[in-house]
Structure 1
């Protein structure tokens, strides 16, 4: 692929990753690592992707099952509908905060321990939520929801694990394949919530039906953790480091230790190193902005659209169809988005995602009582989010040295969830004061920094390298 045919630029996977890329240079594209004798890299990539897809289906299923009735459970336990939104807020904040320690663990020990811990914490959080429901303890419920958020952090990190072993020209597709698996859980989870609640309450009258899905989610997370622990061998991150170091480093086996790789001893694998790596790379800064702001725009508009539809006479069934169309836009087309990102470049997909998000804000904000227009806007909102997340995640992986990637990726997920949490919280205030139209306009304005960063850092490919080497 033309992306890999750059001249005069060493990518972060090259044996000497210390080089930085000027804004005028083409996007960094890692050099192909030599494959040690006896390692069928193509087969290993397929197997790793299959395991990650399986764990993502389980993880997404567990999250969607649990949160489907979270607001109702919070209202029952707290006795106030006004406090019902705090349950999901606690989960989002938990996802953001727990992304950091999970990323640090992955940086030191590999993807498998970090993903396993994320799912185990998610299971523990689900059990705490059930206990809080039985005891009628609202603060304990919020604590459980925060720990439950670790499962979402693991789901998010899975997309980066898929990129560890992927060829540079196939990274976006690997990320997108894992994201697509979330579609199954997002669709099936809410439909299982009600039967899950009834089945658990039948076992014990003390457990409310609205708490039952969390018990099911805990079991599902245990299965996801078991899948990762047993089948994700060798560890993709440690294997990628060993491959980047060459045959000599892989003699002891790609899973022989976390300090293997060309950056061993040269990089402090810490969150500070990840922040420094992002700060040092204009492309990484663009990637971080694209991921965080695309997610914030999507969440801010999505959470308030049901209320706007209700104000314009839509019934619950229609609102559900609009949100289902939105979720379809988010995940169903991610393989196509990944393919485009690998073929045309990361910049093209990031800017395309920004354009779709802006168009979605315009359509939704001016729809009024035109529910079909709102539905189209929400579908495009999901599709634009997919472009920002897939393109931005692939660009971030391309732009950061291998030893610093887990930490930088963890910081990306922290920024993504923290900014979206703030955006979701402020969205209600904006709508109550100024209206839904102003919310969509302000959300679209958040995309301006992404466009400016893209213009400043835009690559200038050499003749014959194509329109967008990223």
Structure 2
């Protein structure tokens, strides 16, 4: 197959052959590459929605308070899908689940396009809700990459998958810029149709993934503790908390940024779209080495570095209203999110046994996107009534809570070390 020629290390062997090769992580690397390529294409859906939903919301919404409701619907779609998607994949498998998610995402793009054509705010919101549901499925790519990986390779597998988002950072904005006027008299319809096409291509790489049946011969593979026991682990609580707060902080600022640049400051759609592009580049480019950083310095230190960068985003955002200030703040926002979120994801993956994946990963993403949906809605309110600086100010207490969570975990670990 041509992919084996043009993509170094890409393997099209059967599941059995990959497992019998003698390399314990050969299957994990194969799946991580497939999932990375799938995210590179499917992730463009998110970039398109984040770049345009708020702007179209300001044009279609019946009141300015509802300007960011389309993005909120996008995030709520992710929230509503997280637990059902995780539990369904536990029953039918990763590949069928991800393909179903792709069909939902394509439907969302077409419905959103129909909403723009009909100038129907609520139909547009339904489309973004379905597009957000697809986002929830793609969020499980990172956990899926860890499923077949050894503990040593797990952080790298997660990073490899998220690195696919780097391509999405360019694909999505270019679709917006080049397709927004592709259909005469139907401005902004083209990008949503374009999103359906890249999702379809993404599904091709999902079809190439290989998933073995769960090995039930070992005791670890069959252990399934009550959820109440799992969530009492201090490291699980902190991992989820950091994941929630870092993602919510990122979404709060990213959602408001296009509106702040175009509506508040009068910059062009191209300026705001390129700002989102470089933000998404910053979100995913570090994934090429985040896994190695975690392996060398540990999850807690890398998380802490991520929170520092998120704090710097606030400082730079407050410093001025130029395009350069917006772009620099968005880049710092993306870098901070990557370090904090990848570390949190790796820590969650350490907190459960194979038989517990469905309920633990579903709960994690439900909580993450629950807070993200509130942040998305709050973003529109803060931007409309307080402006860009009000949005940035909201990050301060969120980062404060994240720091407190880290301190609690470190204190708990030291106490256990003394007791041991």
Aligned to 2:208: 231
The answer as to 2:77 corresponding to 1:91 is no
Q: Matches of 2:330 and 2:201 in 1, distance apart?
A: 33
Aligned equivalent of 1:354, options 301, 304, 307: 307
- Which one of 359, 362, 384 corresponds to residue 407 of structure 1? 359
Deviation, structure 1 residue 194: 4.9
Aligned residue among 280, 291, 294 for 1:327: 280
Alpha-carbon distance in structure 1 between the residues aligned to 2:55 and 2:266: 21
Deviates more, 1:144-153 or 1:308-317: 308-317
User: How many Å apart are 1:79 and its aligned residue?
Assistant: 6.9
Alpha-carbon distance in 2 for matches of 1:410, 1:371: 38
> Distance between the aligned counterparts of 1:127 and 1:438, measured in 2?
35
In the alignment, structure 1 residue 156 sits paired with structure 2 residue 139: yes
Q: Which runs of 5+ in 1 are unaligned?
A: 1-34, 247-260, 464-470
Contact 1:173 1:338 in 2 (8 A): yes
Question: Cα gap change, 1:372/1:57 in structure 2, threshold over 3 Å: closer, same or farther?
Answer: closer
1:420 corresponds in structure 2 to 372
SS in 2 for 1:392: helix
1:218 match: 196
Q: Does 1:395 align with 2:347?
A: yes
Counterpart contact for 1:103–1:409, Cα < 8 Å: yes
CA-CA distance at 1:40 after TM superposition? 4.3
Q: Is 1:448 the counterpart of 2:404 in the alignment?
A: no
Deviations 1:358-410 (A, max 9, x none): 22223323x03566455433322211111111000000001122222232222
In structure 1, the residue corresponding to 2:375 is in which secondary structure?
helix
Describe the superposition over 1:344-363 as per-residue Cα deviations: whole angstroms up to 9, x where unpaired.
Answer: 11111111111221222233
Match of 1:267 among 224, 246, 251: 224
Task: State the 1:88 CA deviation.
Answer: 1.8
Q: Residues 344 and 145 from structure 1, CA distance in 2 versus in 1: closer, same or farther, beyond 3 angstroms?
A: same
The more displaced of 305-314 and 103-112 is: 305-314
TM-score, scaled relative to structure 1: 0.75
Corresponding residue SS for 1:169: coil
Structure with more helix by fraction: 2
Question: Does 2:340 correspond to 1:363?
Answer: no
Q: For 2:21 and 2:272, how far apart are their aligned partners in 1?
A: 55
Would the alpha carbon gap of residues 400 and 306 (structure 1) be closer, same or farther in structure 2, given more than 3 Å must change? same
Q: Measured at CA, do residues 415 and 322 of structure 1 come closer, stay the same or move farther in structure 2, by a change above 3 Å? A: same
| 2:264–2:387 contact (8 Å) kept in structure 1 | no
Work out whether residues 66 and 217 of structure 1, in 8 Å CA contact, stay in contact via their aligned partners in 2. Answer: no
Q: What TM-score do you get using the length of structure 2 for normalisation?
A: 0.83
For residues 325 and 124 of structure 2, the distance between their equivalents in structure 1, rounded to whole angstroms, comes to 38
Q: Is the 8 A contact 2:55 2:259 kept in 1?
A: no
The answer for the alignment partner of 1:129 in structure 2 is 112
Q: Contact (CA 8 Å) 2:317, 2:325: kept in 1 or not?
A: yes
2:235 aligns to what?
283
Question: Which secondary structure does the structure 1 equivalent of 2:231 belong to?
Answer: helix
RMSD: 3.2
Instruction: Give the 3 Å change call, closer, same or farther, for CA 325–39 of structure 1 in structure 2.
Output: same
CA distance in 1, matches of 2:161, 2:240: 20
- DSSP-derived class of the 2:320 partner: coil
Quote the offset at 1:71 in angstroms: 4.5
Residue-by-residue CA offset, 1:168-201 (whole Å, 9 max, x unaligned): 12222211111111121122212123544555x3
Aligned mates of 1:71, 1:375 — CA distance in 2:
18
SS at match of 2:350: helix
- Whole-angstrom distance in 1 between the partners of 2:264 and 2:51: 24
Residue 457 of structure 1 deviates from its aligned partner by 2.0
CA positional deviation for 1:277 = 5.2
After TM superposition, give the deviation of residue 156 of structure 1 in Å: 1.0
| Count of paired positions | 397
* Pair 418,65 (structure 1): closer, same or farther in 2 beyond 3 Å: same
Q: Deviations over 1:98-128 (max 9, x none)?
A: 1111111122232212211211111122233
Larger Rg: 1
Q: What is the deviation of 1:411?
A: 2.1
Q: Residue 65 of structure 2 contacts residue 381 of structure 2 at CA under 8 Å; is this kept in 1? A: no
5+ residue gaps, structure 2, are: 1-17
**Structure 1 400/423 Cα, relative in aligned 2: closer, same or farther at 3 Å?**
same
Q: Which of 143, 148, 163 is the matching residue for 2:126?
A: 143
Q: Give 2:42's match in structure 1, choosing from 50, 55, 59.
A: 59
Alignment partners' CA distance in 2, 1:134 and 1:165:
44
Q: Which residue is 2:97 aligned to?
A: 114
Equivalent in 267, 274, 295 of residue 247 of structure 2: 295
